[in-house]
Amino acid sequence: MTEYTDKVEEARLRQKAEKWGKQIKSIQGSDGIIETRFNNGDIHYRENKEGGKSWTVSENPFSKQTVLEYLKNKIKR
């Protein structure tokens, strides 16, 4: 039964890191564009006007770097 313990813990850590990565890191507005940055490096832009465009820039798909950033953030707290 304990032969999969490491894999289960690794999966839990990955799920926690993915959830953390989707949380908002900062929001900034400038020149009518609202920029929302997420912990995983994604950036969402939205024009602050009626019918404005909205787009997301994904810096990198989920990676080990996201897990490392999650662990660093967890240690800081």
Residues in the chain: 77
Domain annotation covers residue 3: no
Give the CA count within 13 Å in the CB-facing half-sphere of 47: 6
What own/partner pairs with CB < 8 Å and gap ≥ 24 does 57-60 have?
none
Give the single-character DSSP code of 33: E
pLDDT digits 0-9 by tens, 5-27:
888 988 898 898 889 989 999 99
Number of domains making up the chain: 1
Domain annotation covers residue 61: yes
pTM of the model: 0.76
Domain annotation covers residue 49: yes
pLDDT digits 0-9 by tens, 36-76:
999 988 999 999 999 999 999 987 666 777 888 888 887 87
Taking the mean position of all CA atoms in its chain, how far away is CA 17?
8
Enclosing domain of residue 32: 11-76
